[in-house]
């Protein structure tokens, strides 16, 4: 049996102005199943599936914060984190130079 872990897709929709729909889908033997109110249901072409979950912004922020706390970072964030470190090192260097040139302690 070739089963994958469920995938969670969160998106914006004009149908849900103050909530974010999330679809939870898994594949069993290559066939998609959607998690709905009554459990897992095989996906049929052309059928509408309501969101598995509706999440508010503060709930998504809590998830993001919890993921950050355990070391999970957003894709592409590595550069921005490294850039901030580089800027901070540069500012430290500039403070040392200015302090030495001006003869003052910063």
pLDDT tens digits, 25-71: 999 988 999 999 999 999 998 899 999 999 999 999 999 999 989 98
* Whether residue 62 is found in the same domain as residue 102: no
Distances (CA, A) of 42 to 23, 35, 51: 14, 9, 15
Domain limits for position 102 = 75-106
Q: What is the pLDDT of residue 4?
A: 80
- pLDDT at position 88: 87
If pLDDT is split at 50, 70 and 90, which confidence band does 81 have? low
- 26 and 63 part of one domain: yes
Q: Which residues contact 29 (CB under 8 A, 6 or more apart)?
A: 1, 2, 3
Q: Regarding predicted confidence, which is higher, 79 or 23?
A: 23
| Total length of the chain | 106
pTM: 0.64
Q: Are residues 11 and 40 in the same domain?
A: yes
pLDDT of res. 27: 93
Domain count, the chain: 2
Residue 47 in tokens: 């059928």
64 lies in the same domain as 80: no
Does 25 share its domain with 56?
yes
CA atoms of 52 and 59, how far apart (whole Å): 15
15 and 30 part of one domain: yes
């Amino acid at each position: 049996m070739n089963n994958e872990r469920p995938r969670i897709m969160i998106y914006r929709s004009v149908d849900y102005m103050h909530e974010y729909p999330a679809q939870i889908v898994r594949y069993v033997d290559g066939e998609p199943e959607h998690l709905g109110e009554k459990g897992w249901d095989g996906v049929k072409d052309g059928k509408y599936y309501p969101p598995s979950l509706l999440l508010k912004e503060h709930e998504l922020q809590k998830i993001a914060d919890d993921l950050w706390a355990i070391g999970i970072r957003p894709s592409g964030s590595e550069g921005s984190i490294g850039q901030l470190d580089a800027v901070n090192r540069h500012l430290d260097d500039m403070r040392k130079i200015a302090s030495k040139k001006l003869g003052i302690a910063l």
